[in-house]
Amino acid sequence: MDSNNLAEQLLAREAAKLEETKRFNAEREIARALAPQKWDELKRGFEGECAALSRTALRCAFECEQPDAFTFHLNRIVNGVALRAAAFRFEPALPGILFESEHRSDIITFMVDGSRLNYVIGRRGLILKEFVMELILNST
């Protein structure tokens, strides 16, 4: 292999790394911009399901509380007392949502898909409605 060929390969490799870095940074900026909307979507998902469940289930009641802009709690109501079923914390710097319940703790991150942002736990996509139902079901 001559030095010209080697230099071309090195330049091509560096150009590819630079493009990958640019793509990563662009996706991170999109995630940071859209993450607050996904945080609000997650809270609305829990609030809607809790309200519906509390209206229809005679013995199961849940409430949602938001102590501050970055914290959200899912509470199960037992004999008029609110017991914490799950806690969520939005971390805009990540961006991500930390959550903890009796049976599970993890972090929800985001994957950019064009101009959309999707929830991800680990390497798996997360469907919000299924996630909400799973956490509520495991809280009873």
Number of domains observed in the structure of the chain:
1
How do residues 110-133 score in pLDDT, each as one tens digit?
998 887 889 999 989 989 889 988
- Assess if residue 23 is contained within a domain: no
- Assess if residue 29 is contained within a domain: no
How do residues 13-40 score in pLDDT, each as one tens digit?
888 888 888 887 888 888 899 999 999 9
Beta carbons within 10 angstroms of residue 39's beta carbon: 22
- Write the DSSP assignment of the chain as a string of letters: --HHHHHHHHHHHHHHHHHHHHHHHHHHHHHHHHHHHHHHHHHHHHHHHHHHHHHH-SS-EEEEEEEETTEEEEEEEETTEEEEEEEEEEETTTTEEEEEESS-EEEEEEEEETTEEEEEETTEE--HHHHHHHHHHTT-
- Assess if residue 11 is contained within a domain: no
- Assess if residue 101 is contained within a domain: yes
How do residues 55-104 score in pLDDT, each as one tens digit?
887 677 889 999 999 999 999 888 888 899 999 999 999 899 999 998 88
- Assess if residue 58 is contained within a domain: yes
- Assess if residue 97 is contained within a domain: yes
Token pair belonging to 119 = 């929830």
Predicted TM-score (pTM) of this structure: 0.79
Residue range(s) defining the domain that contains residue 81: 34-137
- Assess if residue 28 is contained within a domain: no
- Assess if residue 14 is contained within a domain: no
> pLDDT category, 1, cuts 50, 70, 90?
low
Q: What's 95's domain CATH number?
A: 3.30.920
